[in-house]
Structure 1
Amino acid sequence: MIYHLALRSHWLEARRTGRYPWSTLGRTVEQEGFVHLSSDAQWPVVRAAFYRGVTEPLVLLHVDASLLADPLVVEVGNPATGETFPHLYGPLPVEAVVDTTELVPPHG
């Protein structure tokens, strides 16, 4: 299982239209070139680093990699540490999202 953080409004729109065009916060797949994904251990760190000021509700998308039509590529996301991240070079199919978790806004 891999994960993607989404604004709840974007996910609801994707379920309605059947298309999820987002790569990361404020950037589409077309702009970024791929969808940013995370492992189970990475998504909380990504949320803290990049989604800290987001006040809109977030949803954690649980993605079954076996249901992806486009290749999942693991690449170095942080050259300083060598940490790798999964990237999807193509749109995220709505049907590859097998579960979701509503995320409670952090306090403080």
Structure 2
Amino acid sequence: MIFHLVPAAEWPPAPGAAYRPGSLAAEGFVHCSGDHAAVLAVAAARYRDAPGPLLVLTIDPGRLAAEVRWEDADGRSHPHVYGEVPADAVVDVAELRRDADGRPLGIGRPG
């Protein structure tokens, strides 16, 4: 499984539509993480000031038509999805819990 951080306001996509974040149009791929530790590191580095709740999508690469490439970034290897993510490839949605300063505390059930 691979993981993707998304503002709650951007998930789910419209009925019948695939998920296409801005990075897909701008960079040609969807940024993902290979484990929860990497999700928390990305959240701390890039999402501390993000408004509103953040969700962690668990994506089954076997359900993707798009290529997944593991590429180096920030001294680590991260999976990048080179195409849209069908909604049915997302097998779980969890909430990124953060403290009042936006620091990630963990991943848990939305609510």
Q: TM-score, normalised by structure 2?
A: 0.82
Equivalents in 2 of 1:9, 1:17: separation in Å? 17
1:62 and 2:58 matched = yes
Superposition deviation, residue 105 in structure 1:
3.0
Aligned length: 100
Separation of aligned partners in 2, 1:93 and 1:21 = 9
* Mapping of residues 11-90 of structure 1, within 5 Å: 11-12=11-12, 14-22=13-21, 27-40=22-35, 41-78=37-74, 81=75, 83-90=76-83
Structure 2: gaps (5+ residues):
102-111
- Contact 2:56-2:96 at 8 Å conserved across structures: yes
Superposition RMSD in Å: 1.5
Q: Identity over aligned residues, as a percent? A: 37
Which amino acid is 1:39 matched to? G
Distance 2:98 2:14 in 1: 22
Which residue identity does 2:25 align to in structure 1?
A: E
- By how many angstroms is 1:93 displaced? 1.4
> What is the SS of the residue equivalent to 1:69?
coil
* Partner Cα separation in structure 1 for residue 92 and residue 14 of structure 2: 12
Secondary structure of the equivalent of 2:91? Answer: strand
Moved over 2 A (4+): 15-19, 103-108
- The residue type equivalent to 2:72 in the other structure is V
- 1:19-48: CA deviations, max 9, x gaps? 2110xxxx3311111000001121100000
